[in-house]
Amino acid sequence: MALFEQQWIKVQEKTFTKWLNSKLKAREVEIQDLVKDLSDGVVLVHLLEILGNESLGRYASKPKLRVQRFENVNIALDFIKRRGIQTTNIGAEDVVDGNRKIILGLIWTLILRFTISDINEEGLSAKEGLLLWCQRKTACYDEVEVRDFSSSWNNGLAFCALLDIHRPDLIDYDSLDKNDHRGNMQLAFDIAAKEIGIPDLLDVEDVCDVAKPDERSLMTYIAYWFHAFSHMERVENAGRRVEKFVVNMQGAWEMQNSFEKRMKALLEQIAGQRQQWKDAKFEGTYADVKAQANLLTEYKKHKKRKWVGEKAELTGLLGNIKTKLGTYRLPAYNPPVELCIETLDRSWAGLMQDERSRSQIINETIRDIKNALRKSFADKANGLALALSTLSISISGLEGDVEDQLTHTRKLNENLQPLDEYLQIIAQVDQQCNEAMIEENDFTTYTYDELVYELGLVKSSVSKKLAFLENQIVAREMTNLTPIQLEEFESVFRHFDRNLRNALNEVEFSAALASLGLVYDEQEMHDKFRETSQGREYVTFEQFIKFMVEVTEDQNTAEQVFESFREVADGKPYVTEIDLRHSLIPEDLVDEMIKAMPEHKGNGAPEDAELPKYDYVNFMERYLGKQGADANGHH
């Protein structure tokens, strides 16, 4: 046998023995001689039961006869064949009689199936996928060029680069002596074993002291690196999902705080205006009355319009808060009684009554005989105002199923065109009043300008509500996106939809993608737009969301958030500060979460004995409700 062949057999046997022992540890079994210890089939049965996670049935646990050894090995080989694993030219006698090459080939087949075959990068084979992963992770290191699973690893720098790219806190790559091959290799092996938990399958001399290290041994060992760091990345992704959940909750809190602050300010302003009218006195002169009439006009043009807009905005904001929380299946928000919409409606009704009283007091001193024209204008203005008020109430009062809300909103939208025509009639009457020098009207508090403004508000409210509901339906159907992603994409779409048509032109589409970190060159962006818009000059909200689905895949349901916490906690019913920081959640969010989460009352793992423990289960129940916890089996 040639020296080279003896060498790779020796390395493979050593590496495969360590691989076997890392698996057999679960049954407190350890082998010393790979060929000898597998010959009776018992260890092989143990190994396959561990790898396959099932029992192989009855076998001779202490075989004394050769026929019993054959039976044990055949049980193992039959299991391998049932699993669809190719074992060409391997018979029970090869194992029983200690055919070293055949046994090494059998173990390599099992390693490929149970350790390496699940590595898949861009549809490549396991070997190609593992090599591509190594190349991508080390591409930014000039001294490292991974071409194969042999001589590319001689100097130890590839292993050090893998450590540096994933755990830079464990190694100072820049300070390494690039010529100290054995030192670099030993450093990487030691850190991998002690800090990452990767089984120590290879010795330094197996890689550094030979021109071409054994490919199979290296692939077996490097596959453990892949799995270890892939798990680490999953934990980091879980931490990112937790981060997004907390950020989203902060957004909901900010919306609620904004609503309460603005509602309180509006109610105080309305109360102040009513008290001002109550305290006002007339001097008895026309100039004084006219001046106070002008003040009332100024109030209508500025304060009242601002308040009408703020009232509509607050109603819409509360509806959006409820819809948002409902979309995420979070507990509903009900503002304090003194700051609720009903309180505002009562205060607004009182303001309207005081305004009418104020207007009547002023108008009584300067009334003229043209009441008929005033009445004509007032009847039409009040009718339109009532219609607008009814529409506003209908819009603000919409609740329940999103499809039902959309049906009602569409019906309201159909009623807007007749109001436009009616407003034109009012405009003609208003022109007649202006020509007659009529400045006051006791029969109405509305002016033509106010009606135009409020009709515009109603149109805008209906338009916004239509777009919002249609987008909610589209967003709800995109089940392979997280609610947080949907909220982000919807927010970006609304931001760049400048003229509120629920569509983006090519420039707006490009800007929206750029704000989400998706940057293409000019021709590629144009192609993306034409493909997404299906040849039209704009991209609808649904097309935009479908495009983002193709480039984004992340769900943040209650179940996923719980699973993300469990991933961060490594399966424990609590998390520690170290767990949260290892998942790469930003420092400030970790501090906020520690303040918000209750203390875990039960016992913990021995390694966490001295660390504070936090009950993320109760923390999640607080914001997702008991259903979320039940869905994850925590109660």
**Structure tokens, 29:** 């079994």
Let me know whether 266 and 206 are in one domain: no
Let me know whether 467 and 364 are in one domain: yes
Q: Is residue 48 part of a domain?
A: yes
Let me know whether 579 and 604 are in one domain: yes
Note the pLDDT of residue 190. Answer: 93
Note the pLDDT of residue 478. Answer: 59
Measured torsion, CA atoms of residues 179, 185, 190, 195, in degrees rounded to the nearest 10: 90
Q: Which residues of the chain have pLDDT under 50?
A: 1, 368-369, 555, 626-629, 631-635
Cα–Cα distance for residue pair 295/534, rounded to 1 Å: 56
| Torsion over CA: 93, 97, 98, 101 (sign) | negative
86: domain CATH number is: 1.10.418.10
Let me know whether 31 and 83 are in one domain: yes
Let me know whether 293 and 371 are in one domain: yes
Let me know whether 287 and 432 are in one domain: yes
Note the pLDDT of residue 355. Answer: 93
Antiparallel, parallel or unpaired: β 539-540 and 503-504: antiparallel
Let me know whether 387 and 323 are in one domain: yes
Note the pLDDT of residue 3. Answer: 53
**Structure tokens, 446:** 């509305």
Cα–Cα distance for residue pair 331/7, rounded to 1 Å: 67
Let me know whether 303 and 190 are in one domain: no
Note the pLDDT of residue 230. Answer: 82
Cα–Cα distance for residue pair 625/474, rounded to 1 Å: 25
pTM of the predicted protein model: 0.39
Q: Which helix (H) or strand (E) holds 540?
A: strand 539-540
Cα–Cα distance for residue pair 607/366, rounded to 1 Å: 87
Q: Is residue 543 part of a domain?
A: yes
Q: Is residue 381 part of a domain?
A: yes
Cα–Cα distance for residue pair 345/323, rounded to 1 Å: 21
Let me know whether 105 and 80 are in one domain: yes
C-alpha closest to that of 128 among 116, 137, 143:
116
Q: Are 450 and 378 in contact (CB under 8 A)?
A: no
248: domain CATH number is: 1.20.58.60
**Structure tokens, 207:** 């890689």
- 3 state DSSP class of 350: helix
Residue type at position 98? G
Let me know whether 484 and 471 are in one domain: no
Cα–Cα distance for residue pair 244/247, rounded to 1 Å: 5
End of a domain among 488, 518, 551? 551
Q: Is residue 74 part of a domain?
A: yes
End of a domain among 177, 197, 213? 213
Q: Which residues pair with 503 in a beta bridge?
A: 540
Q: Is residue 231 part of a domain?
A: no
Q: How far is the CA of 560 from the CAs of 237, 377, 566, in angstroms?
A: 11, 60, 10
Let me know whether 324 and 398 are in one domain: yes
- Return the biggest CA–CA distance within the chain: 127
Q: Which residues pair with 504 in a beta bridge?
A: 539
Cα–Cα distance for residue pair 432/373, rounded to 1 Å: 8
Let me know whether 276 and 355 are in one domain: yes
Residue 213: Cβ-neighbour burial (10 angstroms; 0-12, 13-18, 19+): buried
Beta carbons within 10 angstroms of residue 200's beta carbon: 14
472-510: burial string, b at 16+ Cβ within 10 Å, e else: bebbeebeebbbbbbbbbbebbbebbeeeebbbbbebbb
Q: Which residue has the tokens 């900010």?
A: 254
Cα–Cα distance for residue pair 68/74, rounded to 1 Å: 10
Number of domains making up the chain: 5
Cα–Cα distance for residue pair 377/443, rounded to 1 Å: 9
Q: Which helix (H) or strand (E) holds 342?
A: helix 341-364
What lies within 8 Å, CB to CB, of 519 at 6+ separation is: 513
**Long-range contacts of range 251-254, CB-CB < 8 Å, 24 or more positions apart?**
251/487, 252/321, 252/324, 252/325, 252/330, 252/333
Note the pLDDT of residue 632. Answer: 46
| Torsion over CA: 44, 20, 129, 567 (sign) | positive
Cα–Cα distance for residue pair 226/116, rounded to 1 Å: 9
Q: Is residue 305 part of a domain?
A: yes
Cα–Cα distance for residue pair 36/19, rounded to 1 Å: 16
Provide the residue range defining the domain that includes 493.
480-551
Backbone phi, then psi, for 397, in 5-degree steps?
A: -90, 0
End of a domain among 440, 460, 475? 475
Q: Is residue 218 part of a domain?
A: no
Q: Is residue 222 part of a domain?
A: no
Q: How far is the CA of 173 from the CAs of 163, 188, 203, in angstroms?
A: 9, 10, 21
| Torsion over CA: 341, 336, 467, 411 (sign) | negative
Q: What is the distance, to the nearest Å, from the Cα of residue 290 to the centroid of all Cα atoms in its chain?
A: 60
What lies within 8 Å, CB to CB, of 175 at 6+ separation is: none
Note the pLDDT of residue 13. Answer: 85
